Amino acid sequence: MQKTYVIDTSVLVHDPQALGKFEDNHLVLPITVIEELDGLKRDRGSVSYAAREVLRRIDAFRENGDLAKGVALPGGGSLRIALKDGDLTHVTGGTRISGDDKILKTAVHIKATNGGEPVVVVSKDTAVRIKSEALGIEAEDYKYDKTTVFKEYGKVISADIEGGINSVRYMLSGDRIFRLWGERNQMAIKRQRAVSGISPKNLEQECAIDALTAEEVSVIALTGHAGTGKTLLALASGIYMKEKNRYEQVLVARPVVPMGQDLGFLPGDVDEKLRPWMQPIFDNLDVIVGTPSEHKDDRPAGRYRSSNYLVESGAVHIEPLTYIRGRSLPRRFMIIDEAQNLRPLDVKTILTRAGEGTKVVLTGDLEQIDTPYLDSSSNGLAYLISRFLNEEFFCYLNLAKSARSDLAERAAELL
Bond into 292 cis (ω within 30): no
- Residue finishing a domain among 140, 174, 193: 140
Collect all residues with Cβ–Cβ distance below 8 Å to 386 and sequence separation of at least 6: 147, 149, 150
Q: What is the DSSP letter of 200?
A: P
Query: What range does the domain containing 132 cover?
Result: 4-140
Rounded distance between C-alpha atoms, residue 109 and residue 104, angstroms: 9
Same domain, 377 and 276: yes
Indicate the residue among 113, 140, 167 that finishes a domain. Answer: 140
Give the closest residue to 206 by CA, choosing from 194, 223, 188, 222. Answer: 194
- Distance (Å, rounded) from C-alpha 402 to C-alpha 201? 9
pLDDT in 10s for each residue of the chain, 415 residues: 889 999 999 999 999 999 999 999 999 999 999 999 999 988 777 788 899 999 999 999 988 899 999 999 988 899 999 986 654 444 444 556 889 999 999 999 999 988 888 999 999 999 999 999 999 999 999 988 888 878 889 999 886 565 678 999 999 999 999 999 998 899 999 999 999 999 999 999 999 999 999 999 999 999 999 889 999 999 999 999 999 999 999 999 988 754 444 445 555 565 666 667 778 888 898 888 876 444 444 444 445 667 788 888 888 998 877 767 677 889 999 999 999 999 998 999 899 989 999 999 999 999 899 888 888 899 999 999 999 999 999 999 999 988 777 777 777 677 7
* Per-residue model confidence (pLDDT) at position 83: 87
Do 132 and 261 lie in a common domain?
Answer: no
Predicted confidence at residue 291, as pLDDT, reads 60
CB environment 261-270: b (16+ within 10 A), e (fewer): bebeeeeeee
294 and 410 co-located in one domain: yes
CATH for 326:
3.40.50.300
Q: 329 has which bridge partners? A: 354
- Residue 165 and residue 93 in one domain: no
- Verify that 17 and 153 share a domain, yes or no: no
Give the separation between CA 167 and CA 163, rounded to whole angstroms.
9
Give the ranges where 189-343 is alpha helix by DSSP (H).
203-213, 230-243, 270-289, 307-312
Q: Are both 92 and 183 inside the same structural domain?
A: no
Same domain, 130 and 158: no
Specify whether 311 is located in the same domain as 204: yes
Q: Are residues 71 and 29 in the same domain?
A: yes
**Among 140, 169, 184, residue at a domain's last position:** 140
- pLDDT at residue 293, rounded to an integer: 43
97: left (phi over 0), alpha (psi -120 to 50) or beta: beta
SS3 195: strand
Residues 240 and 124 in one domain: no
End-to-end CA distance of the chain: 45
**In this structure, what CATH number is given to the domain that contains residue 76?**
3.40.50.1010
Task: Identify the CA nearest to 83 among candidates 64, 105, 114.
Answer: 105
Which strand (E) or helix (H) includes residue 32? helix 31-40
Task: Domain count for the chain, please give it.
Answer: 2
Quick one: pLDDT at residue 183? 85
Task: Give the model's pLDDT for residue 299.
Answer: 46
Beta bridge partners of 394: 219
250 and 311 both lie in a single domain = yes
Q: For residue 271, what pLDDT is reported?
A: 62
* Judgement on whether residues 241 and 360 belong to the same structural domain of the protein: yes
Please, is 401 exposed, middle or buried when counting C-beta atoms within 10 Å of its C-beta (0-12, 13-18, 19+)?
middle
